[in-house]
Amino acid sequence: MKTVNDFNFNGKKALIRVDFNVPQDESLKVTDNTRIVSAKSTIDKILKDGGSVILMTHLGRPKGQVIDKFSLKHIVDDVSKVLGKPIKFVDECVGSKAEKASTDLKPGEVLLLENLRFHNEEEQGDEFFAKQLATLGDIYVNDAFGTAHRAHASTAIVAKFFPSNKCFGLLMAKELDAIQKVLKTGEKPVTAILGGSKVSSKITIIENILPVVDNLIIGGGMTYTFVKAQGGNIGKSICEDDKQELALDILKKANEKGVKVYIPEDSVIGDNFSNDANRKVVETNNIPDGWEGLDVGPKTIKTFSDVIMASKTILWNGPLGVFEMPNFAVGTKAIGDAIGEATKKGAFSLVGGGDSVAFVKQNNYTDKVSYVSTGGGAMLESLEGRELPGVAAIIND
């Protein structure tokens, strides 16, 4: 796996695909610069070598139209602040303006191109568009894990114009290494904690990780599909009735592979879907009519925490309760604490997937776990065992 550390960029122009699709408020101020900060080490390495940097990214979903609020001019100051140096900006990403800006770029300088998705050709994976982008740099670097699962021009097609001058950025390398640690090289016991509401959205991940994990912890709304499938009463809890056979099949396969599956023994239930609902703790397989499971109970927290504390490699994808409501966030917080403790004792922990990442950030767990993935969809597809187009484009010549 070639990274920027395998190249000397002295006198070279690095064309870097970054993921600066950052959240902004109504006045277009960046509200979370994590993705910009994540690319800094790659950019710094190239500049330190004596190279120059051309950054390309998308922002939002302009769908091929030039829309001011999606212009990257609004994030120039933020990029400049993170990198600690002025940034040049050109209001095009292909064509004569972009080519001139690239030609004029001197070693040590950084150029940000306009939003790739102002052109439909980007999402279409258009070869001519990719070729135009390729003329801007000498070495292609993909450091955008968040878009690596898309076969777009700037992530999967442009690499073919750099047959021997292409590599991963340091963020991308970290992401791929973290997934490898879970799927292939992780120290045992390996524990996967899967939450969220639907079994259907996690089935491919479960099937792919069963051969490598020792423990599978099930939480969140999908708990109740498993419980109902085994004959339990779940009241009005969320349930995918058409996935009950699938849930039983997962349990059978796990048993055949010697994987221990943990399903919540007790649940915190509410009489409606609200933080102010009346609450009580009951056995998960005996929820009364008119009530729904919204969090894991104290017995479950103890069992899950003990399993996590005894683990050496931990994957966490999906909350265990409705963490957006403080009264039903206790279980998810307790699991976060257990993962943090296990990590402190030397376990490797990977957190990924939208809701888990949101929880970790909101509750300041980021520094307590080994790695927080920046790419929701890309990480999930990796865990499903799929080859990501943006990765294949670098690895395969």
Assigned CATH topology for domain 4-170: Rossmann fold (3.40.50)
What is the predicted pLDDT for the residue at 355?
A: 81
Asked whether the predicted pLDDT for residue 195 surpasses 70, the reply is: yes
The residue ranges of every structural domain in the chain are 4-170, 186-383
Q: For domain 186-383, give its CATH number from 1.10.3720.10, 3.40.630.30, 3.40.50.1260, 3.30.300.30.
A: 3.40.50.1260
Spatial separation of the C-alpha atoms in residues 310 and 305, rounded to whole Å: 9
21, amino acid identity:
N
What is the predicted pLDDT for the residue at 354?
A: 62
Q: Return binding residues for substrate.
A: 19-21, 35, 58-61, 117, 150
Identify the weakest region by mean pLDDT among 173-177, 227-231, 350-354: 350-354
Q: What is the pLDDT of residues 84-120, one digit of tens each?
A: 999 999 999 999 999 999 999 999 999 999 999 999 9
What is the predicted pLDDT for the residue at 127?
A: 97
**pTM, rounded to two decimals:** 0.86
What is the predicted pLDDT for the residue at 134?
A: 98
Q: What is the pLDDT of residues 248-293, one digit of tens each?
A: 999 999 999 999 999 999 999 999 999 999 999 999 999 999 999 9
What is the predicted pLDDT for the residue at 198?
A: 85
Identify the weakest region by mean pLDDT among 54-68, 192-206, 325-339: 192-206
Q: Is 336 a catalytic residue?
A: no
Active-site residue identified among 2, 236, 377, 386 = 377
Three-state SS annotation for the chain: CCEHHHCCCCCCEEEEECCCCCCECCCCCECCCHHHHHHHHHHHHHHHHCCEEEEECCCCCCCCCCCHHHCHHHHHHHHHHHHCCCCEEECCCCCHHHHHHHHCCCCCCEEEECCHHHCHHHHHCCHHHHHHHHCCCCEEEECCHHHCCCCCHHHHHHHHHCCCCEEECHHHHHHHHHHHHHHHHCCCCEEEEECCCCCCCCHHHHHHHCCCCCEEEECHHHHHHHHHHCCCEECCCCCCHHHHHHHHHHHHHHHHCCCEEECCCEEEEECCCCCCCCEEEEECCEECCCCEEEEECHHHHHHHHHHHHCCCEEEEECCCCCCCCHHHCHHHHHHHHHHHHHHHCCCEEEECCHHHHHHHHHCCCHHHCCEECCCHHHHHHHHCCCCCHHHHHHHCC
Q: What is the pLDDT of residues 9-24, one digit of tens each?
A: 999 999 999 999 999 9
Q: What integer is the mean pLDDT of 165-187?
A: 92
Higher-scoring residue by pLDDT: 375, 56: 56
Q: What integer is the mean pLDDT of 205-231?
A: 94
Identify the weakest region by mean pLDDT among 34-48, 50-64, 247-261, 350-364: 350-364
Active-site residue identified among 12, 13, 17, 35 = 35
Q: Is 35 a catalytic residue?
A: yes
Active-site residue identified among 302, 312, 354, 361 = 354
Q: How does residue 204 score in pLDDT terms, banded at 50, 70 and 90?
A: confident
Asked whether the predicted pLDDT for residue 397 surpasses 70, the reply is: no
Spatial separation of the C-alpha atoms in residues 261 and 28, rounded to whole Å: 45
What is the predicted pLDDT for the residue at 362?
A: 85
Round the average pLDDT of the chain to a whole number and report it.
94
Asked whether the predicted pLDDT for residue 390 surpasses 90, the reply is: yes
Q: What is the pLDDT of residues 139-159, one digit of tens each?
A: 999 999 989 999 999 999 999
- The share of the chain scoring above pLDDT 70, in percent, equals 99
Asked whether the predicted pLDDT for residue 37 surpasses 80, the reply is: yes
Q: What is the pLDDT of residues 329-369, one digit of tens each?
A: 999 999 999 999 999 999 999 998 768 888 888 888 889 99
Active-site residue identified among 73, 131, 198, 299 = 198
What is the predicted pLDDT for the residue at 382?
A: 86
Q: Return binding residues for (2R)-3-phosphoglycerate.
A: 35, 117, 150
Q: What integer is the mean pLDDT of 192-221?
A: 90
Q: Return binding residues.
A: 19-21, 35, 58-61, 117, 150, 202, 293, 324, 353-356
Domains 4-170 and 186-383 share a fold: yes
